[in-house]
Amino acid sequence: MAVPDYQEIMLPLLRRIGDENVHSLSELTEELAQEFRLTPEDKKEFLPSGGQYKFDNRVGWARTYMKKAGLLISTDRGKIKITERGKQLLDENPMRIDTNYLKRYPEFVEFKGYSAKAGSVKNEPKDDEVTPEELLEEGFSDIQKNLINEVIERTKAASPKFFEQLVIDLLLKMGYGGTRKDAGERLGRSGDGGIDGIIKEDKLGLDVIYIQAKRWNNTVGSSQIRDFVGSLEEKKARRGIFITTSKFSADASKYVDNIEKKVVLIDGEFLAKLMIDHGVGVSTTANYELKKIDGDYFAEE
C-alpha cells in the first residue's frame, strides 16, 4: 500500500505505546510499517530531497504533534512514553486522531499558532487558496519551531560539562573568544552547574565580555541579573552576556534596559536560534533551491 500520511499514523502510534512502557521510535517505526503492510520498497521511499525515508519522517511528525498536544513525552533520545492525557484519550476509543482532533489541547493550539476562535489558524487560507510557495513556507516554519524546541530540550538535559562546551562552541562560531584554548581556559570555573568567566570580544582581545550561563528550568529574575551586574562592577567590565536555558522575567528584561552597562540576555529560545543559525548541535538534512524565470534572459530586442 501507499505510505500513510502522518495523521493516519497518530492513532496506531498512540495505541502501541498505550501499555505505558518506554518505546524507541525506531522500534515503533518498524512495527507500524508492518501494521500498515508496507513493502520494502514503500519503507525505502525517500522524501523529494532524498535526505530521509518518507515513512520515517511521517512517524516522526506524528510523534511531534502528539507530543505538543501532551499525549506522549520523550524520556530519552529517540524514546517515548504515553502520558495520562494520552491514556484518557485512548479510553475514549477515538476512530481517528488528526490535527483537527488535537485542537482540543491548548498546548497544541499554541504550538501551531491557532487563534482562540473556533480553533482556526490565524489568517489561515483554504487549501485551494494556498500557493506551493506558501505551503513550503508554512512547512518550514513548523520544522523550525520543532527544531528550536528539541534543541532547548537537549540543552537542558545536557551535563554541566557538555553545556560548558556548547557555550564555548557557540561563542567561537559567533566570532568571540579568540582561540579555543583561550575560551576553554576562561570558562567553566564556577562549578555550580552554570558557566562563569570572561571571553575576548574579538580575536585581538581589544576588549572582554563577562559571561554567566545557567542551565536552568526556572525563570531568571531581576535579582539574579542585579547580582551579575554587581560582578561586572567588581571586575570593572563594561559588557556582559547572561545565558539561560529557561526564560527571563519581565522585570529582568526591564532592568537591563535601564542600566549604563551593556548586558545582553539570551534565553533558551534565543540560544536555540543562535545554535541553529551558527550550526552548533544541528546538521543540514536537505537544501531546497527555489528558482524563477529570468525575465531579462528571455527578453528579445
Strand-pair partners of 241: 211, 264
Q: Does domain 159-277 have CATH number 2.40.37.10?
A: no
DSSP H or E run through 32: helix 25-35
Cβ density class 55-83: b for 16+ within 10 Å, e for less: bbbbbbbbbbbbbbbbbbebeeeeebbbb
Mean pLDDT (whole number) for 38-60 = 89
The fraction of the chain above a pLDDT of 70, given in percent, is 86
% of the chain exceeding 90 in pLDDT: 54
pLDDT in tens, 69-86: 999 999 877 899 999 999
Residues 6+ apart with CB under 8 A from 192: none
Tell the residue number behind the cell numbers 576562561, with chain if given: 186
Mean pLDDT on 13-17: 98
Given the candidates 3.20.20.140, 1.10.10.10, 1.20.1440.120, 1.10.569.10, the CATH classification of the domain at 6-124 is 1.10.10.10
| 165 strand-pairing partners | none
Strand 79-82 to strand 72-76: parallel, antiparallel, or no bridges (unpaired)? Answer: antiparallel
Instruction: Write down the pLDDT at residue 195.
Output: 52
- Give the predicted TM-score (pTM) of the model: 0.76
Tell me the pLDDT band of 124, cut-offs 50, 70 and 90.
Answer: very low
Tell me what the mean pLDDT of segment 173-191 comes to. Answer: 66
Provide the residue ranges of all domains of the chain, joining segments of one domain with +: 6-124, 159-277
pLDDT the model gives residue 165: 84
What would the mean pLDDT of 9-36 be, rounded to a whole number?
Answer: 97
Backbone angles phi, psi at 222, to 5 degrees: -65, -30
CA atoms within 13 A on the CB side of 24: 4
Q: What is the pLDDT of residues 233-292, one digit of tens each?
A: 887 888 899 999 999 999 999 999 999 899 999 999 999 999 999 999 999 888 888 888
- If phi > 0 it is left, if psi is from -120 to 50 it is alpha, else beta; for residue 265 that is beta
